[in-house]
Amino acid sequence: MRALVIEDDVWISEMLKVGLTGNKIQATMALNGIDGLALAKSNKFDVVITDVMMPGMSGIEVCRELREFNHTIPIIMLTALDTTEDKILGFEAGADDYLVKPFDFRELLVRIKAVTRRRLSDDGEIDHLSYADLIMDLLKRQVFRGDQTIDLTPREFQLLEYLLRNPERVISRTELSKEVWDKHFETGTNFVDVYINYVRNKIDKEFDTKLIHTRQGMGFILEEK
């Protein structure tokens, strides 16, 4: 997962970077709203975390301008302003969530997971799927792991999409053959295994953390371990 953090307090910025990196979230930092907005417009992020009270351009202004540019990116505001009016102002600017300082970092992680779990397109359909640092753009038919682009054939893409829609669940070969190929392959064929290995070599081979695992006698599971 890639996060953009816009925070003018250097100490808080460094604290957030250490915490996010330690939880396998790639963090890009900006110390003011102007730089943060420029980064958000020129890079691909899964979530934007922004302070509200900043010199030059406030977090409210950043949120408003970013919403005009990108309707779907999740935005979390961090601020010492805790009145109902302040929160309403943030939500009306387009924020997805609002966390008041001081806060427990564990709560921030939970909120990041909540706002990034499903990203919707303008017509309400899911346009991204993600698990760990693996991201699938369903509209552009692109796959990313970390900062690397993964090239898949149409059938490999379809197979990985099914795994991403069913994470942390053992999926049998029979289920995969039916859902991905709309066929039932004869018992003993290794057709599904061959394609699993194609995808595994592309998304796991160059990474320390493996995501596609075989459960002997049962099938396959998308799991971070």
- Report the distance separating Cα 180 and Cα 101, nearest Å: 46
Long-range Cβ contact pairs of 105-110 (< 8 A, separation 24 or more): 105/15, 105/16, 105/19, 108/16, 108/19, 108/49, 108/76, 108/78, 109/19, 109/23
Residue 154: what pLDDT?
Answer: 84
Residues 6+ apart with CB under 8 A from 189: none
The whole model's pTM is what? Answer: 0.56
Residue-wise pLDDT tens digits, 124-162 = 556 788 888 898 988 888 999 988 899 998 889 999 999
Residue 123: pLDDT over 50: no
Cross-strand partners of 129 = 136
Residue 206 has pLDDT above 80, yes or no: yes
Residues 160 and 152: beta-carbon distance below 8 Å: yes
- The residues near 191 (Cβ < 8 Å, ≥ 6 apart) are 177, 185
Q: By the 8 A CB rule, do 74 and 115 touch?
A: yes
pLDDT score of 204: 95
Which residue in this structure is represented by tokens 């900043």? 54
